Structure formats: structure tokens, C-alpha cells
């Protein structure tokens, strides 16, 4: 009887160790999947942040271009006004 009990005890130990090993493997796999999900989320957030930054830069460039266009238009109007004034001043009265 004592031999059978030792054998069953050994089988139980092996079964326990197998189950423990399987459980630990599953936990490691879950941790790896969680890390992958975290990395993917961080990459997505970085991409969104970069896209927002690029969009902001485009808006700023458009505003600068509009400002330059308005300045050029104002200079042109001033030049036309000065030309007109000079033509009035040159006319004999």
C-alpha cells in the first residue's frame, strides 16, 4: 500500500507542477498581450498627436500666408493711392 500512496503522491505533484506551469504560461501570455495592446495604444496616441501638430502647423502657415497677402494688398493700395495723389499734384490747376 505504501508504494501506491507514494506513486499517487508523485503523480499528484507532477500534475500540480504541470497545472502551475500551464497557469504561469497563460499569465505570461496575457501579460505579453497586455504589453502589446499598451504599445499599440501609445503608438496610436503618438500618431494622433503628430497629426494634430501637423494640422496646427498647416493652419498657422495658412494664417501667415493670409497675413502676407493682406500686407501685399495694403502696400499695393497705398502705392495706387500715392500714384493717384501724384497725378493730381502734377496736373496744372
How confident is the model over 59-90, as pLDDT tens digits? Answer: 999 999 999 999 999 999 999 999 999 988 88
Q: What are phi and psi of 34, to 5 degrees?
A: -65, -45
Instruction: Pick 13 or 75 by higher pLDDT.
Output: 75
CA atoms of 58 and 65, how far apart (whole Å): 10
pLDDT tens string 26-56: 999 999 999 999 999 999 999 999 999 999 9
Whole-number Cα distances in Å, 71 to 28, 34, 68, 78, 84: 64, 55, 5, 10, 20
For residue 47 the three cell numbers come to: 500618431
What's CA 52's distance to the chain center, in Å?
8
Q: Where are the beta strands (DSSP E) in 1-93?
A: none
pTM (whole model) above 0.85: no
**DSSP code for 81:** H
Largest CA distance in the chain: 139
Amino acid at each position: 500500500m505504501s508504494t501506491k500512496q507514494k506513486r499517487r503522491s508523485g503523480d499528484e505533484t507532477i500534475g500540480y507542477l504541470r497545472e502551475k506551469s500551464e497557469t504561469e504560461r497563460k499569465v505570461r501570455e496575457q501579460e505579453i498581450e497586455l504589453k502589446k495592446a499598451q504599445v499599440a495604444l501609445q503608438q496610436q496616441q503618438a500618431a494622433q498627436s503628430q497629426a494634430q501638430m501637423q494640422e496646427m502647423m498647416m493652419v498657422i502657415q495658412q494664417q501667415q500666408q493670409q497675413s502676407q497677402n493682406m500686407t501685399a494688398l495694403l502696400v499695393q493700395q497705398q502705392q495706387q493711392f500715392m500714384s493717384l495723389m501724384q497725378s493730381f499734384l502734377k496736373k496744372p490747376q
